[in-house]
Each structure stands twice: as structure tokens, then as C-alpha cells.
Amino acid sequence: MRQATHSIHIPTRGKGLTEFTADVAAWIGDERVDTGLLTVFCRHTSASLIIQENADPDVRIDLEAYFEAIAPEDPRRYVHGLEGPDDMPAHIRTALTASSLSIPVVGGRMALGTWQGLYLFEHRSRPHRREVALHLIGE
């Protein structure tokens, strides 16, 4: 059994989904693990991870609009406001999604569905450079 770790940095343009499937797939290919389990972990509390459809961009538009509706930037709704009006909604959105994902590796590739991709979901308004930690265990 082998283990490998790696970090990738994902620049964001502010709120929205940024796909990073290809970066992770390339790293897994370099590690030459045929069968295993990949853990992907977002090292931030105002951004999250999702596995989502990567074929129709309307899915991303609808997801972003939905999260704007359920956790709007309205300072009257929240006690926490120290880091700006987008911070508390960002924490709520992160709590409703995921900070880590587990993905089987089969045949040296992530066992994602045909239309599935890995996304960093940036919940803050301004651009950031987010770090995602990868851990691969297998043989």
C-alpha cells in the first residue's frame, strides 16, 4: 500500500465554481496508483468542494443563484460581520456543501461519472488563491 500527498492552489475570480478535475487527474496519473482512494480537502472555511455536472454550464449558473437565495449578503441577518458582508454567507454555504470529498481510484483514474467534475466553490466576493490538499492511498 502506498500513500501520496500533494497540494494544489486554485485561483478564483470571486464567487462561483472553478473546475479543477484535470489538475487532480494529472497528479493521480503521475503517482501510478491503480486502485485506491483519493481524499480532497479544502483548507478554507469560506470556500468548499463539490462534485457536479461539468457538461452544461447552466447547472453552475443555477447552483450559484440558489446559494445566493438561501444565504444572501444581507448584514441585517447575521451577527458575524467582522470580515465583511460576504463572510457569514460564505460560512453558511460552506456548511451546506463539503470541505472534503472521497473518490475511488479505479484503473489509475478517478471513478467519476461521465458528466462529473471536481469544483472549488468560492463563496467570497473577491478573488482568492485557495489551497486544496490531496491524499491518495492505494496500490
Query: pLDDT digits over 116-135, tens only?
Result: 999 999 999 999 999 999 99
Mean pLDDT of the chain: 97
Return the closest-CA partner of residue 16 out of 67, 76, 73, 56.
67
pLDDT at 24: 98
- Across residues 90-113, what is the average pLDDT? 98
Domain that holds residue 56: 2-138
Give 23-41 pLDDT, tens digit per residue: 999 999 999 999 999 999 9
* Count of domains forming the chain: 1
Q: What is the CATH number of the domain that holds 51?
A: 2.60.120.460
Query: For residue 48, what pLDDT band results from cuts at 50, 70 and 90?
Result: very high
- pTM for this prediction: 0.96
Render pLDDT for 11-20 as a digit per residue (tens, 0 to 9): 999 999 999 9
> What pLDDT score does 46 carry?
98
pLDDT value of residue 49 = 98
- CA-CA distance, 16 to 136, in Å (whole number)? 27
